[in-house]
Amino acid sequence: MARSKFYQLQEWHQSVRDDNEALGRIVTSSLHSLLKQASIPYLSVSYRVKTEASFLAKVRKKRYKDPKSDCTDLLGIRIITYLEDD
């Protein structure tokens, strides 16, 4: 990957990271509320934002043509329930 393109992707990731963090907080808070309203017992609801290093490594490995739209896992949400049926 050309150096200038690498730096552009690095800057882009930094610019969207705060938005992804905020979205992760909002979604997990909403999911907590929805699970409680539905009386679904759960252990935890969490989120993670892909780190810059992980994002850039994935872009290199996958050789995306348009990494900004092709990399679809910048934010992940996890719900852990006690039973699989929940």
Residue pLDDT, tens place only, 20-49: 999 999 999 999 999 999 999 999 999 999
User: What pLDDT, on the 0 to 100 scale, is given for residue 84?
Assistant: 76
To the question of pTM greater than 0.75 for the whole model, the response is yes
> What contacts 67, CB < 8 A, 6 or more positions away?
9, 55, 59
